[in-house]
Amino acid sequence: MTDRIARRIVLTMLERIHTGRLTVVEGTTTHEFGSGAPQATLYIHTPRVWRRLLRGSRGLGESYMDGQWTSPDVTAVIRVAARNATAIDDFRKRLAPVRAPLQHAAAMVRPKHTRENSRKDISEHYDLGNELFALMLDPTMMYSSALFTRPGMSLEEASVAKLDRICDQLDLGPDDHVVEIGTGWGGFAVHAARTRGCRVTTTTISKEQRAHAIEQVRAAGLEDRVTVLLDDYRDLLGTYDKLVSIEMIEAVGWKHFGTFFEVCSRLLKPDGVMALQAIMIDDRAYDVEKAGKSFITTYIFPNGCLPSLEVISRNVARRTNMQMLDLHDMTPDYAETLRRWHASFLNHQTRAAELGYDERFRRLWTLYLSYVEAGFAERRITVAQMTFAKPEHRTEPAAGFELELIADAG
């Protein structure tokens, strides 16, 4: 009885699909919803799935992990859902007055972003094993959006292009000392020190990542220019010429966005410059999403939260004396990056199994990559590189600017 009721509710909700087409196959019964592109097919393997689908993205993910539904193109399923999410968002907003006190209460009892809890959350994702990430990432081991500046680029070339753009935005040179919040596997630190001659102090709270980064620094012969710390960003001391943070802000928690920017501002010299690459959610969905427990924040990035552009701008204005100099949207680049990570991971399923990652975990990881790729493809989430500057920073005119003015005057 419960399965039948849940089935009726879910099918009624699916009738609201107005863009894209979803085909749901359950045994000998087929249901068609919507029309046009994107097109997706979902196969139901047990009636128990209907109850789980009522739990939103978490139920969708859990039921896929358990093999209760499959699809020849999981990304297309998520894209259809994302393209029709506005109606769901509107419904959730109408419930906001009722949900807000419950979300506040849940946030009060949820583990806080203390240094110990932050280390635990990061460890649950980034300490899964360097071998796992190597199955899908390119040789730079950059776990962030690449930048495809021309047709035909390899993922490695696009990752380097992303790093070069950050270095260019900061105008890095041999006299600069850069602090990086969020080391990753050392890709930026090694690249910046090797190609721009700067000094880099980088920090992470992942033991696995730090060990790999130290190995990369040694292999590149850059021990005199790169220092890899195992410190929480809130404990960093000193002042630096430049600051970099690549897709780390998503892990600090929505209550600590202000603290993050305050620390960044404190670490910079009066004329310092900061480069931030951040994944963002639409401003209109931020309040609904920030305190919820989705598939991603439950199984992939525990207690993570995507900021919105408005949240970033507000916190920079209120908690720092920095100004934004530049914003470069990279959302299409991330959809392509995820597509390539996904393909690489699927091509290494046998190796993943040999490393001890069971089928349920591999299904989880496959859905995660599809889920995020679809989010960027449909601009449900976005990513951008932003540059901020302290009050005493000045930008020199472009080469030839003075000559152009003289020519115009003549």
Tens of pLDDT along 271-302?
A: 999 999 999 999 988 987 886 788 888 888 88
How confident is the model at residue 86, as a pLDDT? 73
Cα separation, 333 vs 242, whole angstroms: 25
pLDDT at 92: 47
Q: What is the pLDDT of residue 99?
A: 46
More confident residue, 399 or 257: 257
- Which of 27-36, 46-55, 123-132, 251-260 bottoms out in mean pLDDT, i.e. has the lowest? 123-132
Predicted confidence (pLDDT) at residue 102 exceeds the cutoff of 60 = no
At residue 95, the pLDDT reads 47
Cα 168 to Cα 175: distance, rounded to the nearest angstrom = 15
Least confident span in 195-199, 232-236, 251-255: 251-255
Q: How would you write the chain as a 3-class SS string?
A: CHHHHHHHHHHHHHCCCCCEEEEEEECCEEEEEEECCCEEEEEECCCCHHHHHCCHHHHHHHHHHCCCEECCCHHHHHHHHHHCHHHHHHHHHHCHHHHHHHHHHHHHHCCCCCHHHHHHHHHHHHCCCHHHHHCCCCCCCCCCCCCCCCCCCCHHHHHHHHHHHHHHHHCCCCCCEEEEECCCCCHHHHHHHHHHCCEEEEECCCHHHHHHHHHHHHHCCCCCCEEEECCCHHHCCCCEEEEEEECCHHHCCHHHHHHHHHHHHHHEEEEEEEEEEEEEECHHHHHHHCCCCCHHHHHCCCCCCCCCHHHHHHHHHHHCCCEEEEEEECHHHHHHHHHHHHHHHHHCHHHHHHCCCCHHHHHHHHHHHHHHHHHHHCCCEEEEEEEEECCCCCCCCCCCHHHHHHHHHC
Higher pLDDT, 106 or 407: 407
334, 385 contact by CB (below 8 A): no
199 strand-pairing partners: 177
pLDDT at 268 exceeding the cut of 90: yes
CB 178 within 8 A of CB 243: yes
Which one is predicted more confidently, 26 or 122? 26
Instruction: Kindly list the structural domains of the chain, giving each domain's residue range(s) and its CATH number in brackets, ordered by start.
Output: 2-92 (3.30.1050), 115-389 (3.40.50.150)
Instruction: Give Cα 398 distance to the centre of its chain.
Output: 33
**Number of neighbours of residue 266 by Cβ within 10 angstroms:** 13
Residue 81 has pLDDT above 70, yes or no: yes
- The reported pLDDT for the residue numbered 219 is 98
The pLDDT value given to residue 398 = 59
- What is the reported pLDDT for 301? 86
Both tokens assigned to 171: 């105008």
Q: Report, as an integer, the average pLDDT of 106-115.
A: 58
Q: What is the mean pLDDT of residues 43-48?
A: 96
**Confidence band of 215 (pLDDT split at 50, 70, 90):** very high
Side-chain half-sphere of 283: how many Cα atoms within 13 Å?
6
Average pLDDT (381-395) is 96
Q: What is the pLDDT of residue 122?
A: 47
pLDDT digits (tens, 9 = 90+) for 235-261: 999 999 999 999 999 999 999 999 999
Question: Exposed/middle/buried for 31, CB within 10 Å: 0-12, 13-18, 19+?
Answer: middle
Is residue 159 very low, low, confident or very high in pLDDT (cuts 50, 70, 90)? very high
Percent of the chain past pLDDT 90, that is, above it, reads 78
Closest by Cα among 219, 402, 287, 296 to 58? 296
For residue 137, the model assigns a pLDDT of: 96
- Mean pLDDT of the residues in the chain: 90
